Amino acid sequence: MRTERPLTTPLSAVRNLGILAHVDAGKTTVTERFLYLTGTTHKRGEVHDGTTVTDFDPQERDRGITIFAAAVTCAWDGHRINLIDTPGHVDFADEVERSLRVLDGAIAVFDAVAGVEPQSESVWRQADRYGVPRIAFVNKLDRAGADLDTAVASIRERLHPAPLVVQLPIGTEDGFTGVVDLLRLRALVWTDGSDTADEVPVPESLLEEARRRRRLLEEAVAELHAGALEEFYDESALSAETLSSALRDLTRTGDGVVVLCGSAYRNRGIEPLLDAVVAYLPSPSDVPAVRGTYDGGEQERAADPQLPFSALAFKVSATATGRLTYLRIYSGTIEKGDTVWDPGVRRTERIGRILRVQADRHERLDRAVAGDIVAVVGLKSARAGSTLCAPDAPLVLEPPTVADPVVSVA
């Protein structure tokens, strides 16, 4: 019986995440730092010397831009983060759309000097269309001319979300050393050469400004969130816990966008970003059931391992391991050797090896369940965009939408 075996990671602790950005904003560097900090890679790759782990296709290295989406898995704070690479280059809009279909949430990365750039705008609009909950990361705060407030103003004016800035940078440009966490009024600083932040009291010189900004954040949250407003009236201040849970709700309904900042290149601001992914972005069980049709009939499939299998193939790549088909599993369970149905070509396919891809290596799995993103070896006809489903419960998946606001679970 498949369902008797416990899952290693509960569905609520899975994050299917994409990083959206204009080319050069720092998506590859952020990805690299994620993999490094989560222990997935042990060597810090640098974009300029072609050693980054996600850019493993030689053509991609040559061109220096992320052409092909790849899914990479890492672990943070008891959560499994499946990082789906989304091309930032405008020539690959189809591939961006396909990856947006399989995400549950995203980080939009902006350059602190350039602010919103044309491709960040187009990919933001696409993410709006698919209702992808987002948090924003203003990167490159170490650059000359970088300014968080200007970047946030550009996000507000060009993209029109309600930005909810949860950090105050410590130092500017070359002297950017850390951030004040406005929820907890504590400072995180990174010293050169250290991988992790030191938690210190908020510097005296920033205390008043940090309090002022926390107040602004509280007011913005109270204005957008009924529960927070109530506490705001009663207490005339919001606790870190209330703020955090209201920010999670606002992220998931798309009514607000949490903004963090840092310098991926200098490895500053990355741990709080991972914490924010876990705290604010939804799990597969928080998003609406995927919809599909078959023979004119509509169906919904919730993220439940016990329902009939359904998955969307979102990328196929030829590797030394064989033909890898990346799948987002929406419902049910598959095991090696299972037969699945591809309704597009009306053929059955046999599931070969099931792999979890960790950038430069593959972990073999016995089975994979609803909510997960895996690569399968042995599929012959499935292409990017194909649905795969249980032969006795066929359907063709439609693009998932989050048209209905998602109410967060406590």
| 88 is a site residue for ligand GDP (CB under 6 A) | yes
User: What amino acid occupies position 266?
Assistant: R
- Contact with ligand GDP (CB under 6 A): which of 15, 20, 27, 167? 27
Tokens of 251: 């992220």
| 99 is a site residue for ligand GDP (CB under 6 A) | no
| 140 is a site residue for ligand GDP (CB under 6 A) | yes
- Contact with ligand GDP (CB under 6 A): which of 20, 21, 102, 243? 21
The candidate with the shortest Cα–Cα distance to 337, out of 347, 351, 324, 323, is 351
| 380 known member of a binding site | no
Q: Quick one: 29 or 251, whose CB is closer to ligand GDP?
A: 29
| 87 known member of a binding site | yes
Cβ-based neighbours of 156, under 8 Å, separated by 6 or more: 162, 163
**CA-based radius of gyration for the chain:** 21
Name the DSSP letter for residue 209: H
Stretch that binds ligand GDP, among 16-24, 161-169, 293-301, 342-350 (CB under 6 A): 16-24
| 142 known member of a binding site | yes
| 140 known member of a binding site | yes
| 120 is a site residue for ligand GDP (CB under 6 A) | no
- Contact with ligand GDP (CB under 6 A): which of 15, 18, 28, 248? 28
User: What amino acid occupies position 281?
Assistant: L
Dihedral pair phi/psi, residue 123, rounded to 5°: -70, -30
- Contact with ligand GDP (CB under 6 A): which of 38, 41, 99, 139? 139
**Shortest distance (Å) from residue 123 CB to ligand GDP:** 11
| 359 is a site residue for ligand GDP (CB under 6 A) | no
Q: Quick one: 263 or 333, whose CB is closer to ligand GDP?
A: 263
List b or e across 257-291, with b for residues whose CB sees 16 or more CB atoms inside 10 angstroms.
bbbbbbbbbbbbbbbbbbebbebbbbbbbbbbebb
Q: How many CB atoms lie within 10 A of CB 13?
A: 19
- 278 with 248: CB under 8 angstroms? no
| 281 known member of a binding site | no
| 79 known member of a binding site | no
Cβ-based neighbours of 172, under 8 Å, separated by 6 or more: 141, 146, 147
| 20 is a site residue for ligand GDP (CB under 6 A) | no
Kindly report each contact of residues 243-247 with a partner whose C-beta sits within 8 Å and lies 24 or more positions away, as own/partner. Answer: 243/183, 243/217, 243/218, 244/183, 244/279, 245/408, 245/410, 246/221, 247/164, 247/166, 247/221, 247/279, 247/280
- Write the interaction track for ligand GDP spanning residues 211-230; mark x where CB under 6 A is met and - where it is not: --------------------
| 66 is a site residue for ligand GDP (CB under 6 A) | yes
- Count of residues that interact with ligand GDP, criterion CB under 6 A: 20
List b or e across 86-116, with b for residues whose CB sees 16 or more CB atoms inside 10 angstroms.
bbbeeebeebbbbbbbbbbbbbbbbbbbbbb
Stretch that binds ligand GDP, among 7-15, 25-33, 232-240, 331-339 (CB under 6 A): 25-33
- Contact with ligand GDP (CB under 6 A): which of 23, 220, 316, 393? 23
Tokens of 156: 């507000």
- Write the interaction track for ligand GDP spanning residues 231-270; mark x where CB under 6 A is met and - where it is not: --------------------------------xxx-----
Chain residues binding ligand GDP by CB under 6 A are: 21, 23-29, 47-48, 65-66, 88, 139-140, 142-143, 263-265
- The annotation places the binding site for GTP at 21-28, 85-89, 139-142
